[in-house]
Amino acid sequence: MTNNNNQQVVRLALLLGLFSTLGPFTIDMYLPAFPEIAKQFTTTASLVQFSLTACLLGLGVGQLVMGSLSDVYGRRTPLLISMAAYVVSSLACALAPNIGLLIVFRFVQGFAASAGIVISRAIARDLFSGNELTKFFSLLLLVGNLGPLAAPVAGSGVLSFTTWIGVFIALALLGTYLWLMTKSRLQETLPVDRRSPTNFAHQLRSYGMLLRDRQFLGCMLAQGIMIAGVFAYVSGTPFIYQNIYGVSPTVFALLFGTNGISLIIGSQIVGRMSHRVSEHTFVLFGLWLALLASVTVLVVAIVHGPLFTLVIPLFIFVAAIGITSTAAFPLAMENQANMAGSAAALLGVIPFLLGAVVAPLVGIAGENTAVPLGVIILVSSTIAMLAYFLLVRPQHASTSKAAADSQ
């Protein structure tokens, strides 16, 4: 690849990475304001966490819809419409008079933000395949994973001079910028002759075909269930760090932001070594690493260990997510060139739907214990490993054996 082509790839990764960051910013930026929102609306921690659940549901359901629409109408038009809807819903969140309407508007906001996540990944599959897709996806994640690092810090910065309402106004401005980027810089990558028919039954059949593909299903569950564990961390740490360990919103934002660093480390390890180490090996390594880290988190939570003994294994756990998701994505998308939007949608929907379930469970035992967090991420790590070993591993072993026999 020439230097000129390399520069084009980097520019494209930067642009698509910006759309990928919309999800983390939508999820994470208002986290430091959780206690403030609970106080203003005179409500409970679980109800405030349910506003996060609503957003995750919107992000999950939205990806199914927007992924299919992008296979039918192309990538650019659905993205433009979604960015406009994101701006409007963000302003609606800022003006919400009670927790109930905030929850409703957060669902709409998440639904609109989903287009940035699913369509950016579909565009990547439109343009790349095989090892090149693994490398590009790791580059895309390098940019996208700056979102979890920057979002809580940005939210804390906004809260230093205004209320939580200012956070949603800032998100509206971000959505406006992304709409302008879509309009001026993003070209269509799905030719008309490769688009799916405008037929709902056809879309359902596409999803059915994907779910019958054992490698796709196993990779989808392995990475999806693991990432759902991260949402338990996202939902629980605002209260765990600030209420149990007594850190300030600024210190919380800095601690929470380390998950962006760990995601970047995990994804870049895969991208840099993909020509030497197989994606299957990386997935296995990430799953084992997550399991060990989650056991440590649960033990620390039970004995109420010092803050650093909780932060370090959580850092490792999130790094393991970066490894697993970066390696599992190209494996899942390997044979899905004609259904890239739908495939990317299913890969995206599982983490958010499961995350929507586990997010409020972290606070089920109250705001003064981290044990539910430890239990949830341990269970998610265990189930993810079972999904890989039951669905993906046997097929990979049989394919490798067949290849060896044919030589």
Query: What region does 210 belong to: left with phi over 0, alpha with psi -120 to 50, or beta?
Result: alpha
Looking at residue 338, what DSSP letter applies? G
d(CA 106, CA 37): 14
E strand or H helix that includes residue 250? helix 249-273
* Mean of pLDDT over the chain: 83
Question: Which one, of 328, 323, 330, 300, lies nearest residue 393 by Cα?
Answer: 328
**Percent of the chain at pLDDT above 90?**
23
Query: Tens digit of pLDDT for each residue in 352-375?
Result: 777 777 777 776 656 677 888 888
Determine the pLDDT at residue 180: 92
Residue 306 has, within 13 A of its CA and on its CB side, a CA count of 3
Determine the pLDDT at residue 129: 75
Looking at residue 244, what DSSP letter applies? I
Mean local confidence (pLDDT), 290-299: 94
Mean local confidence (pLDDT), 234-256: 81
Domains of the chain and CATH, by start:
7-187+199-396 (1.20.1250.20)
Tell me: pLDDT of 404 over 60: no
Question: Which one, of 294, 155, 283, lies nearest residue 228 by Cα?
Answer: 294
d(CA 20, CA 113): 9
Confidence of residue 92 (pLDDT cuts 50, 70, 90): very high
Mean local confidence (pLDDT), 179-193: 86
Determine the pLDDT at residue 111: 95
Can you tell me which residue has the tokens 């084009």? Answer: 8
Confidence of residue 403 (pLDDT cuts 50, 70, 90): very low
Determine the pLDDT at residue 171: 95
For residue 292, what are the contacts with CB-CB under 8 A and spacing of at least 6? 316
DSSP of 136-200: HHHHHHHHHTHHHHHHHHHHHHHHTTS-HHHHHHHHHHHHHHHHHHHHHHPPP-S-GGGSPPS-H
Question: Which one, of 144, 89, 146, lies nearest residue 113 by Cα?
Answer: 89
Determine the pLDDT at residue 122: 85
**Whether this model's pTM surpasses 0.75:** no
Tell me: pLDDT of 1 over 50: no
388 or 149, which is more confident? 388
Determine the pLDDT at residue 101: 94
Confidence of residue 4 (pLDDT cuts 50, 70, 90): low
